[in-house]
Amino acid sequence: MCGIIGIENNENAAVLASAGLITLQHRGEESAGITISGKEKMKTFRSMGLVSALFNEDTSINKLQGTAVIGHVRYSTSAKNSLINAQPFQITCIHGNIAVAHNGNITNFLKIKEMLLKKGAIFNHTSDTEILLHLIAMSKGSLADVTAKALQKLEGAFSLVILKDKTLIGARDEHGFRPLVLGKIGNSYIISSETAAIEVIGGKYIRDIMPSEIVVIENGQIKKSFFYKKPKQQHTCIFEQVYFSRPDSIMFGKIIKEVRVKMGEFLADQMKGIKADIVMSVPDTGYYAALGFARASNILFENGFVRNHYVGRSFIKPSQNLRDVTARLKLRPIKEVVNGKDIILIDDSIVRGTTSRRLRGVLKDAGAKKIHFVLSCPPIIGSCYYGIDTPTKDHLIAARSSIEEMRKYLGVESLTFLSLDNLVKACSFADKKDKVFCTACFTGKYPTKISKNTYKEGC
Ligand code: SF4
């Protein structure tokens, strides 16, 4: 999972892009980077950790001169968590200096990489994104044409920003798995993973970039085209609405906060008649669904957990003992709220089940009487091949257990998942009813062909 941003035709491009990236920080905390051009020679700065780690004496934001910028925040699997895979990637080729930042997963990466290796290509990174730069470098024509030709060869999920001199390109795969939106500030266009990043920097959201669409922007002028004339059925990731996207972002004409409240209302309807003292959420993504549940069921909403936002992913966990300390550091129940209570506890999803089981343990230790565990999505039974780092099927608790088996494992009084129908209803497009979501991790029905050679470790 990653976040991307691009801004062109703006004297403050670096400052604005950095503020936008901080807004997208929830999409990736492993590494951050920006590429800047338009005035001096193209330069890329990348760093492990948060966006704030990008800036130091040498890369002080005021010193970054340029009018066009792309930026990236990365969440990756631990095997690929290294500076070498931090984006944007910048190369020099026959077309000049080019940089790219990518959100998604190119499923035919291994096949294309093998073909490129046979042609003599040299790879610097272990990430799927690099093949795009090779494909562009090997083609002749305008940047827009060679990008279109390259994208026609890729399969899977990709939302991209590409930079060359003052030209900013945005593109989205033919299914539109990952979000990508277009905005404007003054005479400058902005491309971003989410609308919140556009609004935070004072810009205005204009529209979504469509599946198969390429936008080429220079000096405040935009040209759009499609790299497939007949785009496939849209399959935008429904999990963006459940978990990944910010609650203040807009997707398909709906603010995500409201979508999550609706999920909670549907859950209250599914559990009509349930008795409890309080409704609580697992911070942060369960919050709005819990609010919706509480309102619809007339059960008191309480904040029963305190979340510590300062526990980095890299906190050392050498032993079980210290792992427990880390867990307690992250989320701590408020005894006075939960003691002696029957609780409806709302979270977004269950993946392996270990975190949920631990949460039940800390609540019981704090005196909770009964726990009804409620999830704002259906059971996850399949891995994601489109840019979300879910584990393989054998590590997904719902892929190998019935709901009753999961309930027993978690040690809770009841276990309820939002039905797929209700999830789709809550997320449904405000305007275009003919589009559909990807729901493959809940149904096992993947919109693209999946085989044992399908690559799944993009970002
Ligand atoms: S498989 Fe699941 S997480 Fe992946 S794109 Fe589809 S809905 Fe989203």
Domain boundaries, the chain: 2-232, 250-427
Tokens 């309480």 belong to which residue? 302
pLDDT at 457 over 80: no
Pick the CATH number of 250-427 from 3.50.50.60, 3.40.50.2020, 1.10.540.10, 3.40.50.2000: 3.40.50.2020
Three-class secondary structure of residue 346 per DSSP = strand
Phi first, then psi: what are they for 432, rounded to 5°?
Answer: -100, 100
What is the atom index within ligand 1 of the atom nearest the CA of 440?
1
Ligand 1 binding pocket mutation candidate from 384, 389, 436 (most atoms within 8 A of CB): 384
**Distance from C-alpha of 386 to C-alpha of 156, rounded to nearest angstrom:** 6
> According to the model, what pLDDT value does residue 428 have?
85
What is the CA(188)–ligand 1 centre distance, in A? 32
| Residue 97 burial (10 A CB sphere; 0-12, 13-18, 19+) | middle
Catalytic site positions: 2
Determine how many CB atoms are found less than 10 A away from the CB of residue 71: 33
What is the CA(165)–ligand 1 centre distance, in A? 35
Q: Which CATH class is domain 2-232?
A: alpha beta
What is the CA(439)–ligand 1 centre distance, in A? 6
- Of 84-98, 325-339, 408-422, the range with the lowest mean pLDDT is 325-339
- Of 1-10, 159-168, 318-327, 358-367, the range with the lowest mean pLDDT is 318-327
**Distance from C-alpha of 343 to C-alpha of 373, rounded to nearest angstrom:** 8
Neighbouring-strand partners of residue 100: 89, 162
> According to the model, what pLDDT value does residue 365 have?
95
What is the CA(345)–ligand 1 centre distance, in A? 24
CA-closest candidate to residue 338, choices 413, 283, 274, 278: 278
> According to the model, what pLDDT value does residue 316 have?
47
Under a CB-based contact definition with an 8 Å cutoff, are residues 426 and 266 in contact? yes
Over residues 131-176, the pLDDT tens digits come to: 999 999 999 999 999 999 999 999 999 999 999 999 999 999 999 9
- Residues in contact with ligand 1 by the CB-under-6-Å rule are 177, 237-239, 384, 386, 388, 438-441
Q: Nearest C-alpha to atom 8 of ligand 1 is from which residue?
A: 237
Ligand 1 binding pocket mutation candidate from 238, 240, 457 (most atoms within 8 A of CB): 238
Over residues 357-376, the pLDDT tens digits come to: 999 999 999 999 999 999 99
Q: Which residue has the higher pLDDT, 94 or 433?
A: 94
Tokens (6 digits) for 107: 């499923």
What is the atom index within ligand 1 of the atom nearest the CA of 240?
8
- Taking residues 330-355, report their average pLDDT: 95
Residue 13 one-letter amino acid? A
Tokens (6 digits) for 287: 């919050």
- Of 179-188, 227-236, 253-262, 415-424, the range with the lowest mean pLDDT is 227-236
> According to the model, what pLDDT value does residue 323 have?
61
**Distance from C-alpha of 263 to C-alpha of 346, rounded to nearest angstrom:** 11
What is the CA(384)–ligand 1 centre distance, in A? 5
